[in-house]
Amino acid sequence: MSTRGIDHDGNFRLDRLSRRTAATPIGPVRIGDDLIFLRQARWSDGPAWVATRRRDGQRMRNVFGETSLTTWVEHLVEQRRAVRAGLRVPLLATHVDGRVLGEVNFHLDPTTGSAEISFWFARGTSRDVTAWVTASSLLRLYQLPARVPRVMAPIAANNPGPRRLLAHWGFTERAVSRELRPYDGVPVDHDIWWLERDADQLADLARGMTDPML
C-alpha cells in the first residue's frame, strides 16, 4: 500500500465516514499495570488535562505556554471546529482512573492531504504506553477511508525527546525549517521528520498495538 495513486485535488477533507471512524475509541488495553483508553476529548477532561500539564511544569511551558482551564476551553473549542471541518484527528490518552496521560493530534493539510502530528506525554509515562499510544494513533489515521499519504513531525532542534519514539516507528529526518515556531518563547529551527504510507510500516504499527516493544 504505497502513496502512489493517492491524488488529492487541493481541497482535502475527511468525509463523514472517516470522521466517524476517527472518533471511535480505542481500548481499553492493559499495558503493564495501566489500563489505557484512546478517545476524543470531552469537556469533563479539562481538570485532569490541566493537572497533568501543570505537573510537568517548564517542560510543557516550553512548547505550549501556560496551561489553565481557559486554555483547555480554547483548545477544545478550536479542536472541535477543526474536527467538524474534517481537518483534525485528535486522540486523548487516558487512564481508567481518569488521569490524562497524553495527547496526539493530527492536523490535516487540505492541499496535499498530508498530516502533521503533534503529541505530548506526561512525565513518567512508561515507554510501553507511549509506544502503544503512538502506534495506535498512527494506524487509526492510516486506516481511515480517506487515504492520508504521509505524516510529518516538526521537532524543535533543542527538544530531543520525541526523536527516539519517531525513529522507532519508522520516521526519518528529511529537512530543516528555520525558525519555524517558538520554543521556550523564542523562534527556533525545527527538524522535519516524515513517515510515508507504506504496507511494511502499517504492518509494524499493527504489531505495535498488541506488542508495544515489538
Q: What is the pLDDT of residues 123-145, one digit of tens each?
A: 889 888 988 999 899 999 999 99
- Average predicted confidence (pLDDT) for the chain: 84
Please determine, for residue 7, whether its predicted confidence score (pLDDT) is greater than 60: no
Confidence of residue 189 (pLDDT cuts 50, 70, 90): confident
Confidence of residue 2 (pLDDT cuts 50, 70, 90): very low
Q: CA distances (Å), 120 to each of 36, 52, 112, 143, 170, in order?
A: 15, 11, 25, 22, 18
What is the pLDDT at residue 83? 97
Chain segment 87-119, per-residue pLDDT in tens? 999 999 999 999 999 999 999 999 989 999 988
Q: Where are the domains of the chain?
A: 16-210
What fold does the segment set 16-210 form as a domain? Aminopeptidase (3.40.630)
What is the pLDDT at residue 4? 36
Taking the alpha carbons of 138, 141, 143, 149 in that order, is the dihedral positive or negative?
Answer: negative
